[in-house]
Structures are given as C-alpha cells and as structure tokens.
Amino acid sequence: MKVYFAPLEGITTYTYRNAHAANFSGVDTYFAPFIVPTENERISMKTLKDILPENNDVKVIPQVLCSSGEAFCELAKKVKALGYDEVNINLGCPSGTVVKKKRGSGALRDTEFLDKLLDYIFSHADIKISLKTRTGFYSHEEFYELINIYNKYPATELIVHPRVREELYSGVPNMDSFDYAYKNSVHKLCYNGDVVTAEDFNKICERYPDLNSVMIGRGAIQNPAIFREIRSGDKIKTEEFLEFSHILEERYLDVLGCEHYTVHRLKEIWLYIMKNFPDEKKVTKALKKSNTLNDINSAINRLSMPI
C-alpha cells in the first residue's frame, strides 16, 4: 500500500517537504500545493518555484487547480519541461473564492462543464494525469454521476475524499460513498480523509484490501512521523517535535528571510501538533499569543512529557 503526503496550501511547500523527508521516513510521494493557471496569465518561473527540480529533494507530483482546458495544457507543457511526467487535478478544494470560479469542488456543481473540461484536457495534454475529488457538491448522491464521468478518462489514479463541498472538513467522511468508488471506479483508487493515526490507516487497509494508496494531509502535519509509524510502528517522541521545529525555523528563516513570516508558518504547524497534547492548554494558549520566535520556543520548550 502506497502512502502519500497530501498538499496543504501554505504549509507543505518545498521547504517543509525537504525538511520532512530528511527527518522522517515512509512517504512514497509528496504532492505539491496547487498551481492555478489562467487563460490570461503567463506562468512564470516564480509561480513554478515550489516545483523546480533544484528546490526539491523528494519525489513530487504537482497539483493543478483549473477551470480552463487550454490554460491547463499550457501549464502542463511547462511542468513537463521541468522533468515531471504526471500532474494531479484538484477537484476537491472547498474554498469559496475557488468554487465561484468553477475550480476545485466548484467544478462538481456543473457536471456538463466538468465532463467537457476533462474531455479537453485528456484529449490534448501530453502528460499523465491523476484526479483528486470530493464525492459531490451538495449531496453524496451526486457521486454516482461523477464516477461515470471519471470512468470515461484514462486517469492514472482517482483520489477520493468522501465529503461533499458543503461539509468542508466537518463531520466524518461518508464511507458509503467511498464503498461505491471502491466497487465501481475503473481507476487505481486512493483514499483521503481523516487519517490521523496509524490505527486509522490500518482500518482503511482492512476495509479496502485492494486499495492502491492512502493520502494523509492534516494528520501528517499533526504527527510528521505517522508514515514511519505506519511502516514500522516507531512512534514519535516529544523531543522529535522540538528538533523538527528548530530545523524548520532555520530553513524558513533562510528561504523567507523574515522572522514575521517564519513565526506565522511555525504557529500554524504547531497548532496542528498541539492536538497530540490535549492537556497542555497553557502551551497552546502561549503559542496562539506568540509574536516572535522566542515566544514560540519558550512555549514549546515547556512540553516535557513524552507522548
């Protein structure tokens, strides 16, 4: 069973990916946060900076958020020129600004538009393509039609997050919808959604023995050693969180060149990590109030007990 590190916008950039791979094992493929091509926008090297080969020490699949087949194909040419042979199309992002432009899960609301978009892309793009989708916009019943559309095209893999757009990330994944994908999709299938422990991963594998892969996102930010634990049972220790944080701090300062942005990145990551320490409410409160790197380090150094 393959395991993927899902893309999280603003967090899993190449700085984070490289640091993670250098300190934690077990990831088969990292997916880079989405690039957004538009018909009226030139894709510059600055836009592609996160996926430039010289910036990545790991296996990466770029992700694209698009509503134009022509714009996608132009981007695909540039991505392929960088040495990539595959991209992933994001049909799951629930952000309001994304949805209103028929990107991400916004494309799921208009299945005729989605079908035409995929038809153009798979007919014209000279690159392998995987799809990442939710199971509907308003209702999981929409997934029956969506699967029929996806089955028409030669995607390398279908990554399914069994929530609809209206649920955002609330509630629990609808496993009946994923059951339907497991039984009816013609593609290699990947499960994505609420895998935050090795036990969660094992339950998915037991329920779907022929699954190709599992993608983990927020659960991997919360526990960066989850992939290692899945492979070997080796659980993370508190000191590893601290060591990883210091490594990220150094790398962010070097890349961002600014303490303010480094603090913002580390705070976001640590608020995920603190879910491992539900009783450390004072530390969490101190992190939320942190405005400097000294504030953050002072707070996390109070974490003394192994988890």
Question: pLDDT averaged over consecutive 10-residue blocks of the chain (307 residues)?
Answer: 96 97 97 86 73 96 96 94 97 95 96 98 98 98 98 98 95 97 98 97 98 98 98 96 98 96 97 96 96 97 71
> What pLDDT shows up at residue 37?
87
Dist. CA 87–CA 60, nearest whole Å:
9
> What pLDDT shows up at residue 43?
64
The domain at 2-229 falls in which architecture?
Alpha-Beta Barrel (3.20)
> What pLDDT shows up at residue 304?
65
Three-state DSSP state, 115: helix
> What pLDDT shows up at residue 285?
97
Q: Cα torsion for 111, 114, 116, 119, to the nearest 10°?
A: -120
> What pLDDT shows up at residue 298?
96
Hey, what long-range contacts does 39-48 have (CB within 8 A, 24 or more apart)?
A: 39/68, 39/70, 39/71, 41/71, 43/74, 43/75, 43/78, 48/78, 48/79, 48/82
> What pLDDT shows up at residue 42?
60
Of 35, 37, 61, nearest to 49 by C-alpha is 35
> What pLDDT shows up at residue 119?
98
